[in-house]
């Protein structure tokens, strides 16, 4: 595979359980089916669960990269042939959860040659505002904050963006509203969050799209098959497809920028 202009995307949320992992997996699947090589990186270092969603049990993971001389290519687990790979996290390794900047640097140094094989690098982050989550989110070209209409999700998303903007000077975010009942609830959820950011933080996050509350999502989780494969005609699948198309357009518009470096800053520029 030749080097690509890799678009790095982190998927984050203030509150847990809002749909990040499902969104990362299914956006990745859409992009792959669109002909773009995708790496899905499980960055939920505390409680990794992409492997469970996929029903796979990889022998090696990110920890193997740090402990041994395992080449990065060997840690990439093919979800689908030719272009949809998965980089497993090590679940329950405290050292990785609270990674310091040296360890983070080492990890990305080891991974660097691998990343350029992909058009998209999707990072599924853990919920909340741990230093590792903030550092990973600050590195990527695009940050997608997933919110649901629940007030706690809104306040926690606001807090997450506030910390990223004050501690890491990051002020550009895309919002996905997940699990709304209808379009009106999607819009009002986004508007409430955007208004608070505008008024108190001085920037407006951009609306990337909404994903309907859909029983086919938990059904696909139970089957351990991506929604896009299990129920491609479901409402949520169509919504995710529309978001993938939008991201492709965003990538095209950013091409010159991302050809310089796949990350906005090197990990060494990021303090803990
Ligand atoms: N659009 C949706 N409609 C219905 N259920 C959904 C939808 N999106 C996610 N869910 C359900 O919400 C639950 C949490 O999803 P997921 O694991 O993707 O969240 P998460 O944000 O990654 O959680 P965590 O913070 O624990 O990593 C799952 O049971 C999933 O089936
Ligand atoms: Mg998750």
pLDDT along the chain (272 residues), means of 10: 77 96 97 96 81 87 84 90 90 70 86 90 93 92 97 97 96 98 97 98 98 98 95 98 96 80 64 47
pLDDT of residue 265: 63
| Domain of residue 72, residue span | 7-260
Residue 213 covered by a domain: yes
pLDDT of residue 266: 56
Residue 97 half-sphere exposure toward CB, CA atoms < 13 A: 12
CB 30 within 8 A of CB 228: yes
State how far the Cα of 161 lies from the Cα of 136, in Å rounded to an integer: 14
Q: Ligand 1 — pocket residues by CB below 6 A?
A: 13, 16-22, 44, 127, 178-179, 211, 213-214, 217-218, 221, 236
Residue 265 covered by a domain: no
Residue 214 covered by a domain: yes
- Expressed in angstroms and rounded, the spacing between residue 84 Cα and the centre of ligand 2 is 19
State how far the Cα of 16 lies from the Cα of 171, in Å rounded to an integer: 22
How many other CB atoms sit within 10 Å of the CB of residue 200?
Answer: 9
- What is the number of domains present in the chain? 1
Residue 269 covered by a domain: no
Residue 248 covered by a domain: yes
* CATH number of the domain enclosing 28: 3.40.50.300
Nearest atom within ligand 1 for CA of residue 124: 22
pLDDT of residue 125: 93
- Rama region for 104: left / alpha / beta (φ>0; ψ in -120 to 50; rest): alpha
Residue 2 covered by a domain: no
Computed over its alpha carbons, how large is the radius of gyration of the chain? Answer: 17
pLDDT of residue 10: 97
* Three-state DSSP class for residue 8: strand
pLDDT of residue 105: 85
């Amino acid at each position: 595979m030749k080097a690509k202009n890799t678009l790095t995307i982190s998927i984050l949320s203030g509150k847990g359980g809002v749909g990040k992992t499902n969104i990362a997996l299914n956006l990745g699947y859409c992009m792959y089916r669109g002909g773009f090589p995708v790496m899905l990186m499980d960055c939920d270092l505390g409680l990794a669960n992409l492997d469970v969603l996929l029903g796979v049990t990889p022998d090696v993971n990110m920890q193997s990269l740090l402990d041994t001389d395992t080449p990065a290519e060997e840690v990439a687990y093919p979800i689908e042939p030719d272009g949809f790979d998965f980089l497993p996290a090590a679940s329950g390794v405290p050292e990785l959860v609270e990674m310091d900047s040296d360890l983070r640097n080492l990890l990305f140094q080891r991974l660097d040659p691998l990343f350029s094989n992909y058009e998209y690098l999707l990072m599924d982050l853990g919920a909340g505002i741990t230093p590792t989550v903030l550092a990973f989110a600050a590195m990527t070209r695009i940050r997608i904050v997933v919110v649901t209409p629940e007030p706690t999700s809104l306040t926690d998303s606001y807090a997450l963006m506030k910390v990223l903007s004050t501690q890491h000077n990051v002020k550009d975010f895309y919002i996905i509203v997940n699990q709304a009942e209808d379009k009106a609830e999607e819009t009002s959820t986004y508007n409430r969050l955007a208004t608070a950011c505008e008024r108190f933080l001085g920037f407006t996050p951009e609306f990337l799209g909404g994903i309907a509350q859909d029983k086919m999502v938990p059904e696909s989780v139970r089957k351990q098959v991506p929604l896009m494969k299990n129920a491609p005609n479901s409402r949520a699948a169509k919504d995710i497809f529309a978001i993938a198309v939008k991201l492709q357009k965003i990538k095209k518009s950013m091409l010159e920028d991302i050809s310089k470096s796949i990350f906005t800053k090197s990990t060494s520029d990021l303090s803990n």
